[in-house]
Structure 1
């Protein structure tokens, strides 16, 4: 029998309050933003979504695991009914409540607030893209027909609470700026897509809710990058998304400073390395090689060289650099590896580099030789 979450009103604890009176509560499975009167919002919620002017609350929720990944597997048989059920459990009016759902833990929510004069912007983010991270334009893995939906784990869900009044068109523009900022946070961490060899731009199921204060005398009509509002929105989103990704999955600059982590988006792991290394001259003891590979992989100079090679590959794939020219540059970079890591002997590059192979395949050959012969 399926075990459903039992989040209730009594489980909610106040964790933050804006200067305008929006109160943020958290329980094990939900983060709830309770809205004062005269708030308008735009949200991607399945119920009461779009532009609204009468919502009393918006919540972010982690459902308990279900037997499947479709909306009909949730309690109530659909996403809409499930949200209504959870609204009631949290003491909220389903007719005046919107919601977002995620597989991220609510304890890992991050909050960032910035102010400028009488403008205050607050972002609240839960984030996880280790399973569902994707790049816009990646091959799709499902298609919606007749309202049938698929629930996928790993999502970046965002609240934005603004102290000023924004009409509907400006709220919509906030979403554009926030989405760009979310992508900045992800790309600064070089988080990989799980559906291609590109860098992720988000997850396939990200959601957002933007709230403004219709009672404020400060009316803002634009939220693009050139406006102060746009700047604050972006900075809050970058801060909160970066913190949430670290809290949820330890995705941070230190964990990304690893050659194998960077190569993972191209399907390269320790076993793939050993398949090549076993054919390279030197001692063939896998446990010793793997231990040395892990040490080699965390060398910051090695990571820097690897990222330069991967960026050449990206630019070839984007059509910015001809493949032949990219390979020539990449092989020139690779040949400096032995000297950079102080390997005493020089490899026979004419034997190691095979023009018919890819840049990554040749990198594995040269780096494996260095690991086996003096690193």
Structure 2
């Protein structure tokens, strides 16, 4: 057996290549999975952009200097098992490499999930090391795998951002400015914030995406990046930055004299991540990186794991009902099969091109009949 992976140059994210290697035999306690499908969104580009700083490259090391595997969320099936608690054929949801397969070392098993206890992942955030067993996963339905891959990890982050803001009384502000407003994590956050009494949610986006953002109904106002001056400069506000655009961050900090907090979430504008002056000599508050696992840890300690899970499941079901409404869906899945198709989809997402309603669901396996 062999595994094919899509490798990314860590210092040149547009450079990719396909690599196939013969599989090593499993050790006792390990399982091998076939990765059937995974989502690719701007969130995964953020993983690559912060791959070294946030240790994302460490989840699935390639063994090749300078080349990494971007982690993605999706579904896999167990095809070989040397673990007595995990059966061949079991369906799993979790954090995979962009590859045809992976090897896990399951530990801390429960009917609902297990943890990959591989030594190289021991110091990495626990939330990324959990694999959900679909047969007992409360969020799973067989007919919604594409939507789960595309929205589930992003919405959980969105839900946590909203919770973090509420937990801190919105830092004394009542206006939330969200950049990259057409991105899935941004509009998931807006969906939550919009339900808060007395909170104004303003989406910042490019002119091409104004109509899409307005159609969602979760932004009180949609403003283009060039029209920041239409928002009063003395508005007490919080900036939630999904774009990672240094020039935009400087403009926000320079304009709003009552900016109460600046939260950095990700980087959809990859070309601007290293923009000159980004994060340096900013007016107002320091830009602070939001780290979802920290809020998970805090709330799990305060609420207990069971209550944390109950609240998250309820929020997810509420959101997904709206986002997948057949009469007005926010998202449609587009499937791509085979190495070249995956490379092309990756290049499109990296460049920030495409319809915001489209979501890429990928597989490195070709469909029967493909050349």
Larger of the two Rg values belongs to structure: 1
Q: TM-score when scaled to structure 1?
A: 0.22
Larger relative CO (CA 8 A, sep 6+): 1 or 2? 2
